[in-house]
């Protein structure tokens, strides 16, 4: 059985994303990764504002590990992936990557890896911020995203 | 003769854009407006990184006046407009708006105005940051964007 | 009677504040100005989180007009001022400036003006975000800050 | 021989730092940690803008691993530490923490741990962004910061 195809979300680099080194400020990859996670959840019918209003719970980020491989610059178009690696009772772990592709460059078919990382998000009650088991319908929507042998 | 149709760019509200008031942090409308200006320039063949490499010049923001009308929240989809109101020798002035539309709501055909403002950008030399006349080809590309009687 | 002495708050420029132009990203002056307003309010006994918990209201920014005069760079130390120019029933208007000083430079006694602007903040109910008259004790604490003939 | 005392830098939480969950947006801890590293380097005579102008090199972040333990809110005063754990030929690894202290609370003498992490920064040439051995005078200034048995 094949692994789940990663969800991909395009992100364009604007002035706001860069720093005086002339490259994307490293903290902003956390923002890019979150945009991709948000759109991935939305694609599964899990809009976060709606979830929050319906359940009184929300996802919070509990662990981030990022490695920076190659810099991106103003106007670059990045492709951000999100792939579930683990679905726990109260948390989800994802592998995420930022890649850039050169149009028409056969040697660069997989793109250039800019940044990769592991992000864990936990489900908490909105008021107390206490960890909580994932609501059954959310767990159910996420289940097919989990790779088979993990 | 009709005024130029405004350029519109969609912007989704993510966690990064909000603050503890539960709404979009006001400074971020400057980012949203810039994304729309950047894509508007790109649509005219004026990618800013390419401009900079070719001419040694770049646009800098010299004046911003924003008025906040109505708040936006997580997951809202905003439409950001950019319309030239004045093309000077060394600067461009734009009127920009952020609006939100309710799907299928006839009374809300023009959307809800969230934020509107005037932004002036000037052309400067990259090294000295000194104001400089707009390069002729840039002025030429921008000319058709200027409304007729302004 | 003399005008109120402006409140001054120091802000250091870090990598996070800069952009690929090598200078402070213009939207960040709104953040710097807000830090100074927050500390100015705190100096008057008006901590915003405490205000919110006590009154159910909060300040929101309703109008910002900024003019950019001179760029700042990484490691620069800025001095941000905040001076009330108008105290309304439900809003406060402030004049704010960002300046930089050269140590031991007599010609530069007033510093270099980097950015100046006018900011209006309004008092709203936290839940509805509807404008509301300033609570009497807040108005009372602010009154001595207002210049005499404005 | 005692381990090096950690460098501590205070950071106040402003509106800009929070998100709609009512807490500090997790990506911003990377900014807080960097402010503390920058001030730690400055305390050793290593101002980054001056370093860059003098050597043509700069530090870039190559690896970040953050764990989020407890949330912080608007107006909270955080204490950010920075302690070298490893000094390589072309990189420095630091352990960093964000803590919050309750005034006059004996049980909370070590504060509440909000976020902790490991950050690796590498020295690169400014133009090529290629890794480069740390200049001897920088390595010399950093040497006394390294704990004895690491």
Which chain C residue's Cα is nearest to A26? C16
Look at residues A22, A38, A143, A107 and name the one whose alpha carbon lies nearest to residue A73: A22
Residue A23, chain D, CB below 8 Å: the answer is yes
Nearest one of A96, A126, A122, A127 to A34, comparing CA atoms: A96
**Closest C-alpha to D27, from D37, D17, D36:** D17
Contact A16 C19 (CB under 8 A): yes
| Average pLDDT value for chain A | 93
Write down the mean pLDDT value for chain D.
93
Please enumerate in sequence order all residues whose Cβ is within 8 A of that of A50, keeping only pairs 6 or more positions apart, or say none.
B75
**Joined tokens for residue B131:** 């104001």
Q: Strand C112-125 relative to strand B112-125: parallel, antiparallel, unpaired?
A: unpaired
Predicted confidence band of residue B38 (pLDDT cuts 50, 70, 90): very high
Alpha-carbon gap, residue B113 to B100, rounded angstroms:
7
- d(C-alpha D100, C-alpha D79), whole Å: 6
Distance of CA D27 to the CA centre of its chain: 14
Closest CB to C48 among D16, D38, D74: D74
Q: Does the pLDDT of residue A149 top 80, yes or no?
A: no
pLDDT at position D111 is: 92
Residue D9 phi, psi dihedral angles, 5° rounding? -130, 130
Which chain C residue has the Cα nearest residue D73?
C49
B144: pLDDT confidence band, cut at 50, 70 and 90?
very high
**Residue A34 corresponds to which tokens in the numbers above?**
């979150």
Inter-chain residue contact C49 with D14, CB threshold 8 Å = no
Going edge to edge, which strands form the sheet with A112-125? A7-12, A77-87, A91-100, A112-125, A57-68, D57-68, D112-125, D91-100, D77-87, D7-12
Minimum Cα–Cα distance from D22: chain C residue: C49
What average pLDDT score do residues C130-144 get?
95
Reported confidence tier of residue C149, pLDDT bands at 50, 70, 90: low
Judge whether residue D134 has pLDDT over 80.
yes
d(C-alpha D126, C-alpha D56), whole Å: 6
pLDDT in tens, D19-74: 999 999 999 999 999 999 999 999 999 999 999 999 999 999 999 999 999 999 99
Q: Which CATH number fits domain B7-145: 3.30.70.270, 3.65.10.10, 3.40.190.10, 3.10.129.10?
A: 3.10.129.10
> Are B30 and C31 in contact (CB < 8 Å)?
no
Question: Which DSSP state fits C134?
Answer: P
Which of B16, B17, B20 is the best substitution to test chain D (most D C-beta atoms within 10 A)? B20
Tell me the residue length of chain D.
150
pLDDT at D110: 82
Q: Does A2 score more than 60 pLDDT? A: no
Residues of C annotated as part of the active site: 19
pLDDT tens digits, one per residue of A82-129: 999 999 999 999 999 999 998 666 667 789 999 999 999 999 999 999
**Mean pLDDT computed over D96-112:** 83
The arithmetic mean of pLDDT across residues D3-31, rounded, is 93
- pLDDT of C105 higher than 70: no
CB atoms within 10 A of CB A85: 17
Residues 6 or more apart whose CB falls under 8 angstroms from that of C90 comprise C122, C123, C131, C132, C133, C134
| Distance in angstroms (rounded) separating the CA atoms of residues D41 and D48 | 8
Which tokens in the block code for residue D144? 């006394």
Q: Cα separation of B35 and D114, whole Å?
A: 33
- What does the pLDDT read at residue C2? 45
Across the interface, of B16, B19, B73, the residue whose CB is closest to D27 is B16
Q: What is the pLDDT of residues C4-24, one digit of tens each?
A: 578 999 999 999 999 999 999
Are D60 and A21 an interchain contact pair (Cβ–Cβ within 8 Å)? yes
- D60–A126 CB contact, under 8 Å: no
Min distance A26 CA to chain C CA atoms (Å): 9
Q: Per the structure block, which two tokens stand in for A38?
A: 């948000």
Residue A75 and residue A59: Cα distance in Å, rounded?
Answer: 31
State the catalytic residues of D: 19
- Give residue D104's pLDDT: 65
Residue of D nearest to C58 (CA): D15
The answer to whether B24 and B71 have CB atoms below 8 angstroms apart is yes
- CA A107/CA A112 separation, integer angstroms: 10
The sign of the torsion formed by the CA atoms of A138, A141, A146, A148 equals: positive
- pLDDT value of position B31: 98
Give the B window 26-55 contacts with A, CB below 8 Å.
31, 34-35, 38-39, 42, 47-50
Which residues in chain C are contacts of D35 at CB distance < 8 A?
12, 14, 16
What percent of chain B is modeled with pLDDT above 70?
A: 93
Domain boundaries, chain B: 7-145
* Complex-level ipTM: 0.93
Residue B104 in this model has a pLDDT that exceeds 70: no
Cβ-contact D98, D80 below 8 angstroms: yes
CA D113, D115, D116, D121 dihedral sign is negative
Cβ-based neighbours of B78, under 8 Å, separated by 6 or more = B10, B11, B12, B13, B32, B72, B98, B99, B100, B114
């Amino acid at each position: 059985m094949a692994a789940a195809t990663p969800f991909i979300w395009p992100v364009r680099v604007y002035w706001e994303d860069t720093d005086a080194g002339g490259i994307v400020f490293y903290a902003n990859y956390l923002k890019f990764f979150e945009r991709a996670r948000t759109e991935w959840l939305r694609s599964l019918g899990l809009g976060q504002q709606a979830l929050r209003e319906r359940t009184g719970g929300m996802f919070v980020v509990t662990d981030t590990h990022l490695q920076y491989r190659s810099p991106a610059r103003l106007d670059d178009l990045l492709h951000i992936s999100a792939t579930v690696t683990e679905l726990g009772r109260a948390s989800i772990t994802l592998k995420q990557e930022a890649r850039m592709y050169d149009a028409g460059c056969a040697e660069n078919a997989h793109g250039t890896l800019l940044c990769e990382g592991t992000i864990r998000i936990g489900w908490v009650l909105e008021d107390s911020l206490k960890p909580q088991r994932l609501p059954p319908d959310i767990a159910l929507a996420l289940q097919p995203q989990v790779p088979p042998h993990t």
